Structure formats: structure tokens, C-alpha cells
Amino acid sequence: MPLIALLAAAPEVPLSAPLTVVGRPVLDRQVRQARHAGAQRVLVLGGPSGFGEAVPGPGAAAALIGDDDMVLMLAPGLVADERIVAAVIAAAPALATWPDRGVERIDAGAMAAGVAVYPGALVRRVIAELGEWDLNSTLLRAALGEGLARVDLAALPLYAPARRREVPMTWAVPATSEEAAQATTTVIKAAQKGCLDWPARFVHPPIEDGLVRLLGPTPITPNMVTLFVAALSLVAGVAFAYGWLWTGLILALISGPLDGVDGKLARSRIEFSKWGDLEHVLDKIAEYGWYSALAGHFAVTMGHAPWLVAALIILFALAEALGGEFFRRFTGAQLDDAGDFERRFRLVSGRRNTFFWTLVPFAAFGAWYAGFVVIAVYAVVTFFIMQYSLYRRLAEYGQAHSETVAANFAASAYDFLPGGKR
């Protein structure tokens, strides 16, 4: 059934000076969220131009809604976690509830959380009889009277697979600029990914967060940030190739936190595009280009050996990345987040950030080529450790999801190993 969103601006907030979260009006955020959730049309009651499909009133909206449609509604002014919206859509027709917070109490033990998906027929019927009553509240009462399913938000898992960590549910209805600023902080904090290497975990976040706050109110898009980082990476590669090693290294280190800004800005502003995944490809091209550029510089005085070192780094780093991607496609989960060992090892495993930070102490003593060789050893060690994890976790997944695989492992176990056949 088609999904249509029906939204409205907060009545107490003037459209000429709307409250903003991460630099965008809350209504604009809701429109983006509805589209990202799969709404084919986004109707905005009395909304300004540029925010969805403006309709003058409920009656005009009802004429655009079919009885078989599902209608997503977000409370005016609500800043809601995308997982809340997804959970309600998955259970549709349904409404979200909290035990102790929300936009309206519905009984002694629950409050409506301001996110609901109603049958189109119900929406049309309520609008036809609405009169001067509030649409959201009237629809809520009508839906409760018909026994609409409830999604208890307190029961939803906090673990967010895409962010590889537990993330508290974002939920706020800011009424002042101070509350909107607090909501901005919450949204940016929630956009932070987990299970990272040590530079991305301890060094980059404050820089990323500050840049997201700075870019939030601007027309700069995540894709523009991606292109800027790609250009910066290209300059770093040129610097390495021409022997301006400190310039290249500094630019490579600067690109680390900048590389996290595009994704964090996209998640914070709900501003995704089909080109977003291309950023990871550009990252790999830039990284491998740096190794090639360094090899070219060293080869001027050292012959073919630097090219072999670069080949080792690229081949083993690429093989490790492909193994992780295969695991993700096969299981739906990240190999780096498959268990406690993988999460701990991710902190120090060989990736772009850790590789080039490893180069810093060698550069400080002028031992650039020695540092380059150490990166190659780092890449090889990381590959074999993660290869072991890949086989181990694939075996666990296969046995957990297939009786045939489990039986094969049991039948072919080695007697001399722990847990072997008895």
C-alpha cells in the first residue's frame, strides 16, 4: 500500500522564524525524514513553499489521500529518531508510545510519542467530521478507539547496526531556541559511529562535530564535502609523489576527520543521496594512490623495492576490506562488530588512519622508508588476523542459520582439537 506523509508546522512557532535543528527547520527535517522512510508524497498542511507539497487545509489533504493508502504523521515540531519511524511503518497501521514521555497521554501507562501510521480510510473519515478540532489529537483518539496497534518504544533495541553501537533514541519537541540547540547536540551525538580505530574514536569526533555544527546552516551538502575531501586527497598524493612528504602526511592526517564529516552531516540532517556509498570507493582510491605515490618517490633512489612494498600494502589491505564486505553482504552485519575481539582489535587494526599515524614517529626521525615498510607489515598482520576472524564468524553464522552446516561441522570436527568429536 502506498505510504503518504501528512505533516504540519508547529502552530506556536512562526514560519518566518522557525526553530532549527542542525541548521535546518524542524519541518524541513520531517519532510526529509518522511521521504527517506519511503513516503511517495509528503503533504504539508499550510506549509511554506519548499517544504513538501503544501496543501491549504485538512480537506484538501483528504482529497489527495486514498482509502488504501497508509498515512504517516509526525507531531508538529517533533524531532524523532529514524528507528522510531521505521518501527511504526513496519508495524503499520500503528502508533508509537512511551511509558513516561510523549505529546499526549493516552492512558495511565502510556503516552503517544507523536509518530503514527494510519489507514487512509480512517484519516479521510476523521477529516470529514473534524470541524474545529485538532487533527492529530482527533486522529489519535479515533485510532485508539479502533484498537490500532501500539509500538512500545521502550522495548525497541538501542543497538543501531549502521552505527555499530547502542544509540539512545532521539526524541524531542523543542519549543525554544535553547531546546533546539540541545536537540542539535543530541542529533549530532547520535550520528557518531562506533567500533572505530583509535584516531577516529579519540581524535576525530570533536573536529567532526564542530564542522557539522558549522556546516549545518549552510547550503553545503554532504556530497560537496566528499568532493572536497577527494580533492584534498589528490593534493596529498601529488605531494607524496613530488617528495613533499611532510605536506602529504599532514594533508593525509587532516583528511581523516574531514572524511567523517560528510557521513555525519548526512545522518544529522537526514540528507542522503544515491552517491553516498561512492564516498567509500573514493576513500580507497585515494588511500591506495598515496601508497603508489610514496613508492614512486622512494623508487627514484631505491629501485623496484618500494613498488613491492606498496603492492603488499594495497593487496593485503584490499583483500582484508573485501573479506569484510563479503561478510557484511553474507550476514548483514559488520565483521569489525562481530564480537568482543573484533571490536577491540578494530581500535588498533591497520587501516588508513592507523597506517598514516604510524608513519608520524618514523617521519619525525627522517626514517620515511622504514615507516613505509612497517605499514606493509602492519597490513599483512591485520589481514591474517581478520582472515581468521572471517572464517570463525562465518562458521558460527552458518551453524546458527543452517542445520546442514551445523551437522557438517559436527561430523567433520577434529578429535585432537578442543571441542572435537568424542
- Set of cell numbers at residue 153: 518504544
pLDDT tens-digit readout, 148-207: 999 999 999 999 988 899 999 999 999 999 999 999 999 999 999 999 999 999 999 999
* Cis amide prior to 93 (ω within 30 degrees): yes
Q: Which residue has the cell 513496519?
A: 90
What's the whole-model pTM score? 0.89
Across 11-15, 100-104, 414-418, the highest mean pLDDT is recorded for: 100-104
Give the mean pLDDT of the chain: 93
Asked if the domains at 3-159 and 194-407 fall in one CATH topology, the answer is no
**The Cα angle at residue 213 between residues 208 and 219, in degrees rounded to 5:** 110
Interatomic CA distance for residues 85 and 116, integer angstroms = 8
Instruction: Give CATH for domain 194-407.
Output: 1.20.120.1760
Amino acid 409: pLDDT: 87
Q: For 272-281, what is the mean pLDDT?
A: 79
Where residue 12 falls among pLDDT bands split at 50, 70, 90?
low
Domain ranges of the chain: 3-159, 194-407
Interatomic CA distance for residues 303 and 416, integer angstroms = 49
pLDDT tens-digit readout, 77-94: 999 999 999 999 999 999
Where residue 422 falls among pLDDT bands split at 50, 70, 90?
very low
Q: Which CATH superfamily is domain 3-159 in?
A: Spore Coat Polysaccharide Biosynthesis Protein SpsA; Chain A (3.90.550.10)
For 195, 280, 281, 324, 325, the CA distances from 321, given in Å and listed in that order, are 15, 11, 11, 5, 6
